[in-house]
Amino acid sequence: MTRVRTCERLLGSLHLHEHRKRQQITSPYTTKMGSSSLPQRMRKLQTKLLAIRLGSGAFILPKDIKKIHLRFAPNMNGGHMGPRKFWRHELVRLKFHNPAIPMTIDRTAAQDEKAILSVHYTNDSAPQTSSSATSSPAARDSTTKNTTPSVAAPSDRVETINMTNFNNSQILDALVQLTKAYPVEPTAQDKEELATLEEQRVRSAAAAKLSAEVRARQKREKELLEQARGEMAA
């Protein structure tokens, strides 16, 4: 009797599977990933663009700043991890919002040297301090990677920040405090776009979860179908 009931249950699953196949009942969430890859890529691109416009480092620098220069070692040990992260993240946003200000890097410093951020001012706008310098080593442009001299003009003033053992957030705070830069505030359109992207992200997560459940159910039905065919063949 047990074997009969098992066969009946498996046959029932077989009939249900065949019925669904004939009716072509498919879930809107069980489409292949390729069909939704373009909207997903567009959403990721929009998120990255918003992150550049509004993320950490989105500040407007004063007009009296002529140039920003970073010098640190090529490896991250010895207190040079923060400067490297600052270059990869915050400096990108600073450049995006201040395209007219040259921002260069020099990664040829020795590992035991200090990591230095230099702020070049024009027209004697910044007072000379004990941590200031009139010139800095050769700079490597962050975009073209061409090594060019980084020498301040006679009328320029340069103030420096010792970035050694600072994380990227601390470096940004020190730069903002030194330069009196002000943050970029999100517009109404930015806020609306952020809300839309978050809503799309939540919907996408829910759809992915439902799709996984549907695939798991279909896999189970397929296993029952194969088991039923094996029982009938026996």
pLDDT at residue 30 in the model: 41
> In the predicted model, what is the mean pLDDT of the chain?
75
DSSP string, 30-99: -S-GGGGHHHHHHHHHHHHHHHHHHSTT-EEPPTTEEEEEEE--SSSTTTTHHHHHHHHTHHHHHHHH-T
pLDDT reading at 134 higher than 50 = no
**What would the pLDDT profile of 197-233 be if each residue is shown by its tens digit?**
677 677 777 777 888 888 888 888 888 888 777 777 7
Report the distance separating Cα 86 and Cα 71, nearest Å: 12
Question: What tokens were used for 117?
Answer: 């951020």
Name the most confidently modeled range: 22-36, 42-56, 102-116, 137-151: 102-116
Where does the pLDDT of residue 140 fall: very low under 50, low under 70, confident under 90, or very high at 90 and above? very low
Report the distance separating Cα 65 and Cα 161, nearest Å: 15
pLDDT reading at 13 higher than 70 = no
pLDDT at residue 206 in the model: 79
pLDDT greater at residue 10 or residue 177: 177
pLDDT reading at 26 higher than 80 = no
pLDDT at residue 56 in the model: 86
pLDDT greater at residue 121 or residue 188: 121
Strand, coil or helix: 120: strand
